[in-house]
């Protein structure tokens, strides 16, 4: 099998997976600005954690004559707004994220979503909401534990004179995403709900648009419920025994994850307590691991183990190299060289196998042409005779180099995923690149070009050029059996480099930087083997 055809197959596998998010790259819609912070009435600072809390007013109260008030917690990593209407977690913003997470009105008790709670106490590290009626007294304690972590304790008391048999239901993660916010966002497919259920992870991808297929009712233990986008994660863990959970689709862009408690008999005056652990920050297993609650499992790159294993290997290798070099750009280059070194034996073996196959094909060329002439009106007979020729000549078009190159595809895909969505590179510069999590932007044009915009990104162009030279070197020894195949090879030599450069053009520069290293080394290997022939 010729190398260009192999390359086409390999890249097609990648394209089918990521086409919707990265191939169509017109002018991207400007991302909506973060929800404007309400005017602070009170501000306190905690020097070690930079924590503040301030109350503000929602513009549209949910009930007449009742002011819906917001209480805001700020740490160096989290900005969380609490509302007295339901005593709920109103929304979340993680420092560094370009916009507020599409999470709204969480940690409510079913049946009390609009109940007017009273903010009975608060300071820079805590807030307490209380609600009472003729049946129930509910107290919610929010306490800041550290810059990533907030604790919630909910105390529910039966104030009736009779006992009550009751199972409570809490809304944990609640997605409320406007379609207009995400339809032009190529990263929207990375939005994901993750649920640790019975020690297994259940995931819902593209978590901004939902159908009835996303409805789900499950019994058993719920470890935690989380949401993540490209770089950031937010997790809520119930610290009590659960009965199960329900994924409830309440609109095209809205889904609630409700967890249920065990049923119990509450005697008059009896109080039950439910604790929650709330964490949020970048998807970095180095801080997620420290809680010992399997929060790090929210970080994933594929549902298929064949891709997930090499992706996790690259993901954990990067910070180890960075610890030695203290530069993320150099770390990408070194990791790219190490990965190429690991796959080098397969690469060389594949190239040698293809060279051997091409040599055998060259010897068979006269016989192949004779068969093509003799049976040009009978395609079935032609293919039968060609198969017999290949068998006699010891040629296996689908074996050898083709198989070895396809075995490298998991590494190719894994590297693509890690360098696209790893939080390591945010705000990290290298050479002319200001931010490795953004396109390299060598310079900005005063006008826009079709499909490319006004940014000139040099790394994707370098990847395309390297691919072109690699294909040019490898095509010198290619054997074609007919004119159609020759034309296809010629088109592939020019179209594939352009295609790859287009894919990488407006993506995080960490990715084309890695592939610049990879293609430089593979092109050098191809050239070296061609000279050694």
Specify the range with the lowest mean pLDDT, choosing from 5-9, 131-135, 498-502: 5-9
Residues 342, 226 share a domain = no
Per-residue pLDDT, 363: 74
Residues 500, 361 share a domain = yes
- CATH number, domain containing residue 116: 2.70.98.10
Per-residue pLDDT, 405: 64
- Classify residue 34: in a domain, yes or no: no
Per-residue pLDDT, 21: 39
Per-residue pLDDT, 11: 46
Residues 409, 492 share a domain = yes
Q: Is 169:269 a contact under the CB 8 Å cutoff?
A: no
Residues 198, 85 share a domain = yes
The predicted model gives 184-194 an average pLDDT of 81
Per-residue pLDDT, 376: 72
Per-residue pLDDT, 53: 40
Residues 269, 365 share a domain = no
The 10 Å Cβ neighbour count of residue 9 is 14
Over the stretch 75-95, which tens digit does the pLDDT of each residue have? Answer: 888 888 999 999 999 988 888
Does residue 30 surpass a pLDDT of 50?
Answer: no
Residues 409, 273 share a domain = no
Residues 268, 134 share a domain = yes
How far apart (Å, rounded) are the C-alpha atoms in residues 417 and 309? 12
Residue ending a domain, among 298, 328, 363, is 298
Over the stretch 422-459, which tens digit does the pLDDT of each residue have? Answer: 888 888 889 998 989 888 888 777 777 777 777 788 88
Distances (CA, A) of 67 to 116, 118, 486: 9, 10, 75
- Classify residue 226: in a domain, yes or no: yes
The predicted model gives 33-43 an average pLDDT of 34
The predicted model gives 401-415 an average pLDDT of 75
| pLDDT band at residue 321 under the 50/70/90 scheme | very high
| pLDDT band at residue 498 under the 50/70/90 scheme | confident
Residues 122, 187 share a domain = yes
Question: Which domain does 521 fall in, by range?
Answer: 319-532
| pLDDT band at residue 474 under the 50/70/90 scheme | low
Does residue 291 surpass a pLDDT of 50?
Answer: yes
- Classify residue 36: in a domain, yes or no: no
- Classify residue 134: in a domain, yes or no: yes
Q: Is 132:72 a contact under the CB 8 Å cutoff?
A: no
Taking Cα atoms as reference points, which of 260, 226, 229, 228 lies closest to residue 243?
Answer: 260
Does residue 61 surpass a pLDDT of 50?
Answer: no
Residue ending a domain, among 298, 333, 362, is 298
Specify the range with the lowest mean pLDDT, choosing from 31-35, 209-213, 214-218, 331-335: 31-35
Determine if the pTM surpasses 0.85: no
Over the stretch 109-121, which tens digit does the pLDDT of each residue have? Answer: 999 988 999 999 8
Residues 72, 122 share a domain = yes
Specify the range with the lowest mean pLDDT, choosing from 56-60, 314-318, 334-338: 56-60
Q: Is 5:18 a contact under the CB 8 Å cutoff?
A: no
Residues 465, 495 share a domain = yes
Residues 248, 128 share a domain = yes
The 10 Å Cβ neighbour count of residue 533 is 7
Does residue 472 surpass a pLDDT of 70?
Answer: yes
How far apart (Å, rounded) are the C-alpha atoms in residues 479 and 214? 51
Per-residue pLDDT, 280: 92
- Classify residue 7: in a domain, yes or no: no
The 10 Å Cβ neighbour count of residue 368 is 20
Taking Cα atoms as reference points, which of 237, 231, 234 lies closest to residue 280?
Answer: 234
Q: Structural domain tally of the chain?
A: 2
- Classify residue 42: in a domain, yes or no: no
In this predicted model, which residue has the larger pLDDT, 216 or 22?
Answer: 216
Alpha-helix runs per DSSP H in 111-248: 179-182
- Give the chain's mean pLDDT: 79
- Classify residue 47: in a domain, yes or no: no
The predicted model gives 222-236 an average pLDDT of 93
Per-residue pLDDT, 190: 86
Over the stretch 200-213, which tens digit does the pLDDT of each residue have? Answer: 899 998 888 899 99
335: left (phi over 0), alpha (psi -120 to 50) or beta: alpha
Per-residue pLDDT, 373: 75
> Is residue 336 helix, strand or coil?
helix
Residue ending a domain, among 298, 330, 360, is 298
Per-residue pLDDT, 14: 46
In this predicted model, which residue has the larger pLDDT, 31 or 159?
Answer: 159
Does residue 490 surpass a pLDDT of 50?
Answer: yes
Per-residue pLDDT, 367: 77
Does residue 403 surpass a pLDDT of 80?
Answer: no
Does residue 293 surpass a pLDDT of 80?
Answer: yes
The predicted model gives 478-490 an average pLDDT of 59
Over the stretch 324-347, which tens digit does the pLDDT of each residue have? Answer: 999 999 999 999 999 888 888 877
Over the stretch 119-177, which tens digit does the pLDDT of each residue have? Answer: 998 888 899 999 999 999 999 999 999 999 999 999 999 999 899 888 999 999 999 88
How far apart (Å, rounded) are the C-alpha atoms in residues 395 and 361? 7
Does residue 261 surpass a pLDDT of 90?
Answer: yes
- Classify residue 21: in a domain, yes or no: no
| pLDDT band at residue 65 under the 50/70/90 scheme | low
Residues 230, 343 share a domain = no
Beta-sheet strands, E only, within 229-380: 232-238, 242-251, 254-261, 264-266, 271-282
Per-residue pLDDT, 195: 94
């Amino acid at each position: 099998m010729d190398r260009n055809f192999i390359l086409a197959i390999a890249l097609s596998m990648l394209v089918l997976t990521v086409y919707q998010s990265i191939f169509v790259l017109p002018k991207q819609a400007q991302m909506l600005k973060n929800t404007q912070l309400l005017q602070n009435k009170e501000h306190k600072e905690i020097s070690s954690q930079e924590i503040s809390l301030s109350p503000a007013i929602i513009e549209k109260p949910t009930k007449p004559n009742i002011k819906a008030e917001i209480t805001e917690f700020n740490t160096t990593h989290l900005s969380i707004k609490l509302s007295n209407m339901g005593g709920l977690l109103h929304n979340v913003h993680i420092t560094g994220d370009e916009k507020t997470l599409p999470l709204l009105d969480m940690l409510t008790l079913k049946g009390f979503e609009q109940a007017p709670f009273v903010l009975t106490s608060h300071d820079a590290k805590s807030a307490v909401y209380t609600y009472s009626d003729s049946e129930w007294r509910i107290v919610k304690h929010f306490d800041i534990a550290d810059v990533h972590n907030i604790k919630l304790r909910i105390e529910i008391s039966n104030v009736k004179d009779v006992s009550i048999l009751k199972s409570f239901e809490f809304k944990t993660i609640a997605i409320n995403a406007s379609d207009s916010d995400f339809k032009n966002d190529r990263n929207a497919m990375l939005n994901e709900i993750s649920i640790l259920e019975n020690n297994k992870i259940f995931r819902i991808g593209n978590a901004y648009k939902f159908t009835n297929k996303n409805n789900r009712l499950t019994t058993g233990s719920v470890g935690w419920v989380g949401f993540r986008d490209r770089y950031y994660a937010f997790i809520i863990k119930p610290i009590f025994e659960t009965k199960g959970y329900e994924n409830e689709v309440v609109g095209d862009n809205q889904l609630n994850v409700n967890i249920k408690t065990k049923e119990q008999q509450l005697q008059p005056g009896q109080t039950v307590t439910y604790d929650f652990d709330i964490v949020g920050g970048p998807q970095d297993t180095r801080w997620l691991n420290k809680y010992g609650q399997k929060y790090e499992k929210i970080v994933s790159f594929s549902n298929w183990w064949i891709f997930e294993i090499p992706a996790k290997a690259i993901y954990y290798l990067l910070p180890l190299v960075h610890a030695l070099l203290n530069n993320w750009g150099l770390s990408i280059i070194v990791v790219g060289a190490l990965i190429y070194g690991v796959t080098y034996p397969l690469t060389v073996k594949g190239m040698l196998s293809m060279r051997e196959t091409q040599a055998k094909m060259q010897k068979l060329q006269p016989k192949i042409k004779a068969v093509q002439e003799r049976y040009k009106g009978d395609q079935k007979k032609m293919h039968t005779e060609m198969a017999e020729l290949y068998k006699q000549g010891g040629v296996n078009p689908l074996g050898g180099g083709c198989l070895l190159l396809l075995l490298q595809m998991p590494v190719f895909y894994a590297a693509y995923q890690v360098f696209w969505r790893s939080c390591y590179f945010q705000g990290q510069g290298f050479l002319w690149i200001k931010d490795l999590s953004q396109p390299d932007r060598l310079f900005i044009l005063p006008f826009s070009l079709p499909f490319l915009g006004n940014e000139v990104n040099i790394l994707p162009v370098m990847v395309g050029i390297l691919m072109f030279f690699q294909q040019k070197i490898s095509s010198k020894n290619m054997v074609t059996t007919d004119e159609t195949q020759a034309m296809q090879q010629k088109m592939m030599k020019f179209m594939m480099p352009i295609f790859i450069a287009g894919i990488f053009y407006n993506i995080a520069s960490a990715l084309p930087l890695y592939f610049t290293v990879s293609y430089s080394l593979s092109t050098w290997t191809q050239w070296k083997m061609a000279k050694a022939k």
